[in-house]
């Protein structure tokens, strides 16, 4: 079984993001970029499936500018076998990403695509669902536990009431949540080995996909600054403040 893992290059989760002065977007000049954390989890899961003998090949794919190659090298250093870079300088919104991934799926014919549940830059949480719909494949989102048994993927997902258990038939699209696993760090020898692994290049034109944006972001603003809290000396004081000042009791 081949597993495809889409990995996005995003602003590192430790960076405190700044909105551009004109409100047109987030300032990413000179900002540390990394693999989307949920995609690290997706890649880790695919590699574990390979180590368990369930998968034969793990292919990482990234869509975007030339620097996506760094993200792909990280995926390869973690253990993916090869990579595909769909190079485009255009703003790639989730629908365009899903259409490009559909074209890659048709070319590569994986049985499983494992994505992050959301990209932490735009927080869209749309790509996996759109890809499943475009392909007409089964989907399980926010997967926090996974076992593959023949043609079935047994998935647990965290929902408000507890854990929901699903069985989806392959081929399938899975999107993964934080608790699925703890991604490994790439060791130095594996980073060196990854430099020799192949990265194929494609463009949206090669794949016949129109990536014109469909959404217009009108304005970005910083969230209002939170007021400093107060420390109370006792539970009685807290209850009194909740009654008299906050008016919530």
Segment 137-166, which members bind ligand AMP (CB under 6 A)?
none
How far is residue 80's CA from residue 110's CA, in Å, rounded to a whole number? Answer: 14
Residue 171 found at the interface with ligand AMP (CB under 6 A): no
Q: For the chain, percent helix, then strand, then coil, each to nearest 5? A: 30, 30, 45
The answer to whether residue 122 forms part of the interface with ligand AMP (CB under 6 A) is yes
Sites for ligand AMP among residues 62-101 (CB under 6 A): 62-64, 92, 94, 97
Q: Which of 11, 34, 35, 39 is the binder for ligand AMP (CB under 6 A)?
A: 39
The answer to whether residue 60 forms part of the interface with ligand AMP (CB under 6 A) is no
* Helices (H) then strands (E): counts for the chain: 6, 11
183 binds ligand AMP (CB under 6 A): no
Q: Are strands 112-116 and 172-176 parallel, antiparallel or unpaired?
A: parallel
Instruction: List the one residue from 119, 140, 148, 180 that touches ligand AMP (CB under 6 A).
Output: 119
Rounded distance between C-alpha atoms, residue 204 and residue 233, angstroms: 61
With contacts defined by CB under 6 A, name the span among 57-65, 103-111, 183-191, 224-232 that binds ligand AMP: 57-65
Q: From 2-10, 132-140, 198-206, 238-246, give the range in contact with ligand AMP by CB under 6 A.
A: 2-10
Q: Which is nearer to ligand AMP, 63 or 168 (CB)?
A: 63
| Cα distance between residue 150 and residue 138, in whole Å | 15
Binding of ligand AMP by 126 (CB under 6 A):
yes
Residue 52 neighbours by CB under 8 Å, 6+ apart: none
Instruction: Cis check for the bond before 171: say yes or no (omega within 30 of 0).
Output: yes
Find the binder of ligand AMP among 8, 50, 73, 157 (CB under 6 A). Answer: 8
């Amino acid at each position: 079984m081949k597993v495809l893992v889409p990995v996005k290059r995003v602003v590192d989760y430790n960076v405190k993001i700044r909105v551009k002065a004109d409100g047109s977007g987030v300032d990413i000049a000179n900002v540390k970029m990394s693999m989307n954390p949920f995609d690290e989890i997706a890649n880790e899961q695919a590699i574990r499936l390979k180590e368990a003998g369930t998968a034969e090949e793990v292919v990482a794919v990234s869509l975007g500018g030339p620097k996506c190659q760094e993200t792909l090298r990280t995926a390869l250093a973690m253990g993916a076998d090869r990579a595909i870079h769909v190079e485009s300088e255009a703003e790639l919104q989730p629908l365009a990403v899903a259409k490009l991934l559909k074209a890659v799926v048709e070319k590569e014919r994986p049985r499983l695509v494992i994505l992050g549940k959301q990209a932490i830059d735009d927080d869209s949480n749309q790509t996996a669902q759109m890809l499943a719909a475009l392909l007409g494949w089964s989907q399980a989102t926010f997967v926090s536990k996974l076992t593959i048994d023949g043609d079935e993927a047994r998935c647990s997902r965290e929902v408000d009431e507890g854990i929901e258990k699903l069985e989806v038939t392959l081929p399938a699209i899975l999107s993964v949540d934080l608790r699925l696993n703890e991604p490994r760090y790439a060791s130095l020898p594996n980073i060196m080995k990854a430099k020799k692994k192949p990265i194929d290049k494609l463009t949206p034109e090669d794949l016949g996909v129109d990536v014109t944006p469909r959404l217009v972001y009108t304005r970005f603003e910083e969230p209002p600054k939170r007021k400093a809290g107060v420390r109370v000396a006792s539970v009685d004081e807290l209850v009194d403040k909740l009654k008299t000042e906050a008016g919530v009791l």
